Amino acid sequence: MGLDEQESMRWSTSGNFPINHISQDGTAFHVPMQFSPSSADFSHYSQNGLSYNGNYNLAYPEQFLNSSCPRSYNGLAINSLSNDMSMSESFPPGTYQFEPTKPHDPVDLADPEINGQLMQLSDDYDRHFAVGNHIKVEDHGSYHSPYDSDITRGSTPHDEPSRYPQDFGVNDDATIDKEQPYAQLIYRALMDAPNHTMILRDIYDWFKKHTDKAQDKETKGWQNSIRHNLSMNGAFEKVDQPHEEARKGFMWRLTTEAIREGVKSTTRYRSKAPNKRGTRSHHPLPQRQASGAKGGQAARRSANLRRRNRINDSAYAGTYRSVPAAFDPTFNPDMSMPYPTSPYYTSDNMSDWSHDSPLLGHTHAHAHAHNHGRGNELGMFQSQHVMHGLPLGDHGAYVPDLGPAESVFTNSPASSADEPRTPMSQGGWEEDVGLGGAPFAFDEMACRGYVG
């Protein structure tokens, strides 16, 4: 326990906001329900003259806000809620100013902690939103990078420092504690984005702009690291990119859990690799290759899914799902365990919640790969938050040091400081992990993920 606390403190980005109100206050529950998203709300997204959020907003045409698509995404609701509340009501922007000099630091404004606090109970509501209505943001008709107007850019670093829509005139450096780990920074970046979603390039750009990790111009190491983190940290999930830009990969979005609870250490999502120096490091080369191959397989699988989805998308513009492939319950089991999970996972990872085989023993055995036409709308109602059992009282959350009472899920005394607790209530998707039975054991097991 001391541990948990310690950890969360440590990850806590900035400080200690008075834990607040909202989360514990029953009334908070209603807020989201009454909330009705509109473009207006959106514009509040960031008051304080937040910069590129504004631009981002443009990316979400009003029409989408009214969409009747039943998809269960809730980003908007969340955004709106968290921002409005945190900014306008609960926390005046000024409250978070860590650096007086830069009154408009977007990062601070979007402070995760606040959101975290505010959001924490909203999870259930997410589903509500999801179910019946309007809100859903996944369908941004088009995503326009706030950073580049010329799509050609991307990886071409013609480093001209900034010509971003709004620079607040300030900044650049020092805005952020550059000491923060990648995961945290990415988190920040995403927190700033509408719908907490960004494409890789923009994340790069954000890094260039707000951090110094990207200092090293001609080295892609930092980019690699970013990608690595995106891939490995459960706080980030992929969502399809709408149309046009779709070819350049996914968009990355913060998981609702992440929004709520913050980013957890990336390591926890990594393989347990006992890999001690002694145990096994002797034939690194082949090993390396093996790993590469493995990644490759995953990539391929992922791509397959994507491809399929894309096809569906094009056929059904309005209904494409932006579910991270791996989270899609319709995800084809045939491929769920295409390869044995890493030898390293074996012990405690029957299923790694995050990227793979969430539904092992699952039923569907449908023909895969070729049923486009318009098949899998099924996945539509699935949403990420339902599945990640993102560990709660677990250590390592970047977010707020919620009091113990805070979380709805933090009920259990902590089986072991390390055990991510998963809200079963979150519902819905049960997975019959092929582990024989143990319906109860499941939740720990199943969500355990890479954790160790």
Partner DNA sequence: CTATGTAAACAAC
Partner DNA sequence: GTTGTTTACATAG
- In the region spanning residues 257 to 286, those forming contacts with DNA, defined by CB under 7 A, are 265-268, 270-271, 273, 275-277, 280-282, 284
Alpha helices in 390-440 (DSSP H): none
Rounded distance between C-alpha atoms, residue 247 and residue 245, angstroms: 5
Closest separation in Å from C-beta 232 to DNA:
5
Which of 149, 155, 314, 412 forms a contact with DNA (CB under 7 A)? 155
Using rule CB under 7 A, residue 452 touches DNA: yes
- In the region spanning residues 172 to 191, those forming contacts with DNA, defined by CB under 7 A, are 180-184
Stretch that binds DNA, among 49-57, 88-96, 287-295, 423-431 (CB under 7 A): 287-295
- In the region spanning residues 299 to 318, those forming contacts with DNA, defined by CB under 7 A, are 299-300, 302-304, 306-307
Which of 16, 289, 347, 371 forms a contact with DNA (CB under 7 A)? 289
Site string for DNA, 349-388 (x = CB under 7 A): ------xx--------------------------------
Which of 68, 156, 371, 415 forms a contact with DNA (CB under 7 A)? 156
**What token pair was written down for 348?**
């405690």
Which of 50, 76, 114, 200 forms a contact with DNA (CB under 7 A)? 200
Which residue carries 């606390």 as its tokens? 5
Rounded distance between C-alpha atoms, residue 384 and residue 305, angstroms: 16
Give burial (CB, 10 Å; 0-12/13-18/19+) of 147. Answer: buried
Which of 38, 133, 231, 319 forms a contact with DNA (CB under 7 A)? 231
Stretch that binds DNA, among 67-75, 85-93, 164-172, 194-202 (CB under 7 A): 194-202
Alpha helices in 350-433 (DSSP H): 384-387
Which of 77, 114, 118, 232 forms a contact with DNA (CB under 7 A)? 232
Which of 15, 92, 132, 221 forms a contact with DNA (CB under 7 A)? 221
Q: In Å, what is the CA distance from 435 to each residue of 5, 320, 328, 423?
A: 32, 32, 20, 19
Using rule CB under 7 A, residue 195 touches DNA: no
DSSP letters spanning 324-372: -GGG-TT--GGGTSSSPPPTTTTTT-SS-TTTS-TTTT-------SS-T
Using rule CB under 7 A, residue 215 touches DNA: no
- In the region spanning residues 238 to 257, those forming contacts with DNA, defined by CB under 7 A, are 238, 247-250, 252
Using rule CB under 7 A, residue 217 touches DNA: no
Contacts of 397 (CB under 8 A, 6+ apart): 7, 8, 11, 261, 262, 263, 264, 391
DSSP letters spanning 70-100: -----HHHHHHHHHIIIIIII--GGGG-S-T
Site string for DNA, 396-425 (x = CB under 7 A): x---------------------x-------
Closest separation in Å from C-beta 152 to DNA:
11
- Closer of 163 and 247 to DNA (Cβ): 247
- Closer of 61 and 181 to DNA (Cβ): 181
Is residue 196 helix, strand or coil? Answer: helix
Rounded distance between C-alpha atoms, residue 350 and residue 342, angstroms: 10
